Chains A and B, each alone.
Chain A
Amino acid sequence: MSGLARDVAVAGVGYSTVARAGDFDVRTLTRAACTAAMADAGVGPADIDGIVEYQFGQGDAPSAVGAQRLLGIPDLAMFNDLMGTGPSGLSSALDAAMAIAAGVCETVLVYRCITRASGHTGAVRTGPPEARGALQFAAPYGYGGGIIPAMAMKKQRRVAELGGSYADYGRIAVNARRWAALNERAVLREPLTLDDYFAARPVADPLLLLDCDYPVNGACAVVLTSRERARDLRHVPVVVDALAYGTGAGADWLYGDDFLFGGTIPCAQRLWAKASVGPADVDVAELYDGFTHITISWIEALGLCGIGEFHDWVDDGDRIGPGGALPVNTSGGQLAEGRLHGLAFLAEAVQQLRGECGARQVPGAEVAVVANAHGPQSGAMVLVRD
């Protein structure tokens, strides 16, 4: 029994092709991921009565009703287009779970389609010569590239305030490649050493290129439904045990009260207060890695180790790697599988709990935690095998 008013489960997951290059149409990518997730669940267009999608709000992916047309879905009892200020792609699944729990709809398709054109926030742009609104306090100083400078400053501040070293960040980058080597879908599968990590080009010192995820063109989709309905579908249901959001006080990437952790700590506290399991029960953790700082934050915020203890806890990195005591980001995450913007962490967790991950399968995995984004946009979910 979850903390939700009605039990919700994930019934299917799907991916489009995921590639660094090539011609594509976001409608084709979205359709491919959605049809794969529906086939995985064993549902057809007439079974879907809700769609939620997450995008940056630039029309960079098909809208919910756009996807409805792509898939020939007759009507929707619930739909929502979420913009880029939420907990990344996971926000679509959080929204869907709440709508199902509330009884508004029964079976919801969620997706995130992202391309290098829309997702490459580090690209050089020509901004407006007049900086208005929040930009007036940022653009004149050369603050750009989305949250890249914020993440650089968090990395510097964390080591100064909590100790540890920049090698801790490298452990996350190296770990991603270790898992990606076992994932045929991953885009970057070559092994990485700590020396390689430190040799990477600095983007904004101390932030290195390999602290940043890898932009790709692709889509990921997930089908959620009631636990009751999921039991009649193709796979063993993966139940949403708890979900939570967090922003922290003064919610902002630069100016929020908790500069290092943002909303991750209140989100994690809320999550475990609602869950039927606790941090010690986690078999596999799929934690956002748009930047390495984010993964470290979630590991500590979720209580997988204490605040400021990551350095000693991660040790040489084997603990979070293949065969380790607490596998983290078993797909290779966005650092190595490719930046599908959050939802793929949920899809990977589901496949791990269903025991479908082949060479990278975590033996006997029954409890997973998934977390997305950071700062004022934090969200997380606990999943258990039915």
Chain B
Amino acid sequence: MTARPRPVPDPTSGAYWAAAGRGELTVAQCDACGRAHHPPEPACPACGADGPRPRVVSGRGTVFAACVVRQAFDAAFADAVPYHLALVAPDDAPEVRILTNLLGADAAEPVPVGTPVEVGFERLDGPGAVALPQFRVVGG
């Protein structure tokens, strides 16, 4: 089994991964138009303003959409199927969607839209160690 791909921080994403390493989930906040986005970009995709900044959010949110992947597309996940993929809308940045797995949920069916979730951090150790934000169903 090949290793799961690791995120490689770059100048635009570095602050996001550094915050995750501290156990904090951030969204990219535009102070010009007031909207947030994710993943972080060099400029706000809603208004084009420079300099979105990381804003720490609570890590609580709801499932915007979800599915259960039953066929691996990447050989590194051949042993992981079935697994959840979801877009989560943070409670304090509802215009944002964050792609995540949903850890600990029964893979028999997708987690329903609107289900409350909260973030945790999955530590991928070794070279290029990183903390991967991962949501799980509240109480799940």
Contacts and interface: CB of A to CB of B under 8 A. Distances in A.
A137 to B, nearest CB: 4
B107 to A, nearest CB: 9
Interface string B56-67: 000000001111
Contact of B80 (A122, A134, A142): A142
Task: Say what secondary structure dominates the interface of chain B.
Answer: loop
A280 to B, nearest CB: 33
23 contacts: A124-B72, A126-B75, A130-B8, A130-B128, A136-B10, A137-B39, A140-B6, A141-B132, A142-B73, A142-B74, A144-B74, A145-B73, A152-B67, A153-B65, A156-B113, A160-B113, A160-B114, A202-B70, A204-B69, A206-B67, A254-B97, A255-B37, A255-B39
A1 interface: no
Q: Which of B71, B80, B82, B87 has most A Cβ within 10 Å?
A: B71
Contacts of A138: 99
Contacts of A204: 67-71, 85
B95 to A, nearest CB: 8
Contacts of A129: 2-3, 5-6
Interface in B101-140: 101, 109-110, 112-114, 124, 128, 132
A154 interface: yes
A205 B70 contact: yes
Interface string A102-125: 000000000000000000001111
Contacts of A149: 67, 69, 85
Task: Say what secondary structure dominates the interface of chain A.
Answer: mixed
Given A126-B2, A143-B99, A249-B46, A156 B110 contact: yes
A90 interface: no
A128 to B, nearest CB: 7
Given A130-B8, A142-B101, A154-B65, 6 more contacts: A125-B75, A142-B69, A152-B67, A153-B85, A205-B109, A255-B37
Contact of A156 (B37, B66, B80): B66
A273 interface: no
Interface string A253-272: 01100010000000000000
B99 A131 contact: no
B66 A124 contact: no
A127 B70 contact: no
A176 to B, nearest CB: 21
A267 B74 CA distance: 34
Interface residues of B, number: 48
Taking residues whose C-beta sits less than 8 angstroms from the other chain, chain A's interface range is 35 or more
B74 A141 contact: no
Nearest to B82: A205
Contact of B66 (A145, A153, A202, A259): A153
B78 A141 contact: no
A306 interface: no
Interface of B: 2-10, 13, 37-39, 45-46, 64-78, 80, 82-83, 85-87, 97, 99-101, 109-110, 112-114, 124, 128, 132
Given A204-B70, A250-B37, A140 B4 contact: yes
A149 B82 CA distance: 13
Interface of A: 122-145, 148-149, 152-154, 156-157, 160-161, 201-207, 249-250, 254-255, 259
Contacts of A126: 2, 74-76
B64 A157 contact: yes
A124 B67 contact: no
Contacts of B109: 205
Q: Which of A130, A161, A204, A206 has most B Cβ within 10 Å?
A: A204
Given A137-B99, A249-B46, A250-B37, A127 B65 contact: no
Contacts of B97: 254-255, 259
Contact of B73 (A125, A137, A160, A250): A125
A128 B71 contact: no
Nearest to B2: A126
B11 to A, nearest CB: 12
Contacts of B69: 142, 149, 152, 204
B93 to A, nearest CB: 13
A138 B86 CA distance: 11
Contacts of B113: 156-157, 160-161
B67 A142 contact: no
Contacts of B70: 201-205
B39 to A, nearest CB: 4
A79 B82 CA distance: 45
A131 B78 contact: no
